[in-house]
Amino acid sequence: MIRRYPRFVPGAGWLLLAAACCCAPVFAQQWPAKPLRIIVPFPPGQGADLVGRLFAERLTASLGQQVIVENRPGAGSMLGTEYAAKAPGDGYTLLIGGTSALVINPHLYPKLGYDTLRDFAPISNLASLPMVICVNLAFPARSIPDLIRIAKRRPGDLTYGSSGNGSADHLTQALFASTVGVKLTHVPYKGSVASMTDLIGGQIVMATATPPGAVPYVRAGQVRALGVTALVRSPFLPDVPTLDEQGVKGFDVVAWAGLVAPAKTPAPILDRLNAEVVGALKTPEVHKRFQDLSMVEIGDSRAHFGEFLKSELVTWGKAVKASGAAVE
């Protein structure tokens, strides 16, 4: 049998490559041709859900297609995040990803069903959520140095609550204890509301929450805020100094919520989405909504958010190690 091979045509490979490179811009020009969905890996009503619905409304108006929020909670945000990671990279599925889903879970779960850097393309970081370290009103500490002194005199006696083992607030407090050289006892709860409730009631000494979870209790005089874990003060609690200001130099641990897409989403679509999101964050309406939620808007570039994800994976990896957190 004579095997016949296709005749080589000089330049044909380059023509095919050029045609392939042209497909993405053409596809992007036709996008969006149908409704989009934003996957939120949490139940309705939580912070990520509120942010997702806010941007779904803004993107619906600017893109001319309906943008729907699809809540897929479960397994500490892993179910919805894995679902989004495996969705087609066609520009019609987005994910509100945050600290736990994208940079904490990879260090807690060795068989995680997604890889943050491999499976997702960054669009923009949306909201900054520094932690606020709070104590029960009966506890004598009035500052972070007070807290450290008391903790060193009473190793293991001081209890701190969190929204669950391996959560951002758990790891923040564990990293704090490791950094300043004190021993604290962790009491995990099913959610930040439960831990703050027991903090108010005196069942625990200390708890940490993001501004949306902490500010109402601090303003109502139900708990005492000792410090903010970012390098700059929170505009929602301007009288509360940072840990860095109080001698814990360089302590900078901040939760956040960002918008990502499946990794193979065409770059022109990602660029368009970034422009739409950043533009929305600059409007007075969105700014006011963020203020109402006690969140600071970000709106960075795709490249900056990508580098941020890499650095956050390192930061939270250290926090997981310091906490000794393990999957239960």
**8 Å CB contact between 125 and 51:** no
Residues 43 and 125 in one domain: yes
Q: Distance (Å, rounded) from C-alpha 314 to C-alpha 321?
A: 11
Give per-residue burial for 117-142: e unless 16+ CB within 10 Å, then b: eebbbbbbbbbbbbbbbbbbeebebe
CATH of the domain at 159: 3.40.190.10
The pLDDT, as a whole number, for residue 318 is 87
Residues 165 and 119 in one domain: no
Question: Could you give phi then psi for residue 318, rounded to 5 degrees?
Answer: -65, -40
**Domain tally for the chain?**
2
Residues 117 and 169 in one domain: no
**Per-residue pLDDT in tens (0 to 9) along the chain, 328 residues:** 333 333 434 444 444 444 444 444 555 578 999 999 999 998 887 778 888 999 999 999 999 999 999 999 888 788 999 999 999 999 999 999 999 899 999 998 888 999 999 999 999 999 999 999 999 999 999 999 999 999 999 999 999 999 888 888 999 999 999 999 999 999 998 878 889 999 999 999 999 999 988 999 999 999 999 999 999 999 999 999 999 999 999 999 999 999 999 999 999 999 999 999 999 999 999 999 999 989 999 999 999 999 999 999 998 998 888 887 766 5
Identify the domain boundary among 188, 210, 228: 228
Q: Is residue 179 part of a domain?
A: yes
Q: Is residue 224 part of a domain?
A: yes
Q: Is residue 247 part of a domain?
A: no
pTM of full prediction above 0.85: no
Q: Distance (Å, rounded) from C-alpha 21 to C-alpha 25?
A: 8
Q: Is residue 242 part of a domain?
A: no
Residues 258 and 124 in one domain: yes
CA distances to 24, 151, 152, 306 from 181, rounded to whole Å, are 53, 9, 8, 33
Q: Is residue 11 part of a domain?
A: no
Identify the domain boundary among 228, 262, 291: 228
Residues 222 and 77 in one domain: no
Q: Is residue 233 part of a domain?
A: no
Strand order in the sheet with 36-40: 67-71, 36-40, 93-98, 254-262, 120-130, 296-297
Identify the domain boundary among 169, 194, 228: 228
Q: Distance (Å, rounded) from C-alpha 296 to C-alpha 254?
A: 11
Residues 136 and 125 in one domain: no
Q: Is residue 204 part of a domain?
A: yes
CATH of the domain at 53: 3.40.190.150
Residues 50 and 124 in one domain: yes
Residues 43 and 105 in one domain: yes
Residues 260 and 121 in one domain: yes
Residues 272 and 221 in one domain: no
Residues 142 and 206 in one domain: yes
Q: What is the CB neighbour count within 10 angstroms for residue 310?
A: 11
Q: Is residue 217 part of a domain?
A: yes
Q: Which range marks the domain in which residue 276 is found? A: 31-129+254-323
Residues 144 and 278 in one domain: no
